[in-house]
Chains A and B, each alone.
Chain A
Amino acid sequence: MSGTPKWREDFPIRWEADNYVTRREFTKFLVLVSGATFVGNGYFVLQGRREVEAERIRIEVARVEEVPVGGVKLFRYPSANDPAILIRLAENEWVAYMQRCTHLSCPVHYSAKSGRIECPCHNGAFEARTGRVLEGPPPRPLPRIVLYIAEGRIYAQGVQGS
């Protein structure tokens, strides 16, 4: 049997060592969180690689005669989870953007009357021709989808960052 009293097992730290132990444990915890932050940063690298791979894919979005001037067509690009919007601004002028508002990811819609892309959630608005922010809380322009038109068909082939 050891000479240590039973209560010492419940209170193993002397009060003089209290500051030392709490600071030491907090420092260890901080290093653990530091490692988690490093891993979290790695997530963006992997996600970026995945998106770069996905953007190499060319998909057919619509046929030219399918969308009238001032009309839109919704599609998914680069993956099935990414809503996008194709807009026919003029006879030979097409633009496409990711359909998520850069503020809080609400789906945006095109208003042919005002020539703007609008977000109904917080009244954000983007210029349809360039995707730049006109008003409201969105911090960035809409990411633009690169289009390729050939033989009466419109293809999406990559996303341009804002």
Chain B
Amino acid sequence: MNGREPGLADMERRSQTILMLMILVLIVFLIQLWLITIALEDYLAAHHTLALPTFLASGACFLVNLRLLRYLFDVDRKKEDRP
């Protein structure tokens, strides 16, 4: 026996899953930051060509993040369902 409580290994595994999700969300968010920087630069230069493409790309990134969030809720739900 290693003295660990039951479920501790499961908790660690879920922590790893959440860590992976967090890194993915962070990467997508950094892409969004890059996009908004481009949009700002374009706006300050009195151009209006990149605002819409960056807005759409940022929306796609947000949708990806929402999907990842849903997966996070699924991980939570599995924990609650466990007897």
Contacts and interface: CB of A to CB of B under 8 A. Distances in A.
A72 B14 CA distance: 69
Interface in A67-119: 98, 102
Interface string A24-46: 10111011011101101110110
B39 A44 contact: yes
| A41, A45, A143: most-surrounded residue (chain B CB, <10 A) | A41
Contacts of B62: 34-35, 37-38
Contacts, number: 105
Secondary structure of the B contact surface, majority rule? helix
B36 A161 contact: no
Nearest to A50: B48
Interface in B18-33: 18-19, 21-22, 25-26, 28-29, 32-33
B26 A140 contact: no
A27 B21 contact: yes
Contact of A30 (B5, B22, B42, B52): B22
Nearest to B22: A27
A138 to B, nearest CB: 11
A23 B24 CA distance: 12
Secondary structure of the A contact surface, majority rule? helix
Contact of B51 (A30, A37, A48): A48
Contact of A34 (B43, B44, B61): B61
A19 interface: yes
Interface in A37-65: 37-38, 40-42, 44-45, 47-49, 51-52
| A34, A51, A102: most-surrounded residue (chain B CB, <10 A) | A34
Interface of A: 16-17, 19-20, 23-24, 26-28, 30-31, 33-35, 37-38, 40-42, 44-45, 47-49, 51-52, 98, 102, 140, 143, 159-162
13 contacts: A20-B11, A27-B68, A27-B69, A31-B69, A38-B32, A41-B36, A41-B51, A41-B58, A44-B43, A51-B46, A140-B45, A143-B46, A159-B46
Interface of B: 5, 8, 11, 14-15, 18-19, 21-22, 25-26, 28-29, 32-33, 35-36, 39-40, 42-48, 51-52, 54-55, 58-59, 61-62, 65-66, 68-69, 72, 76
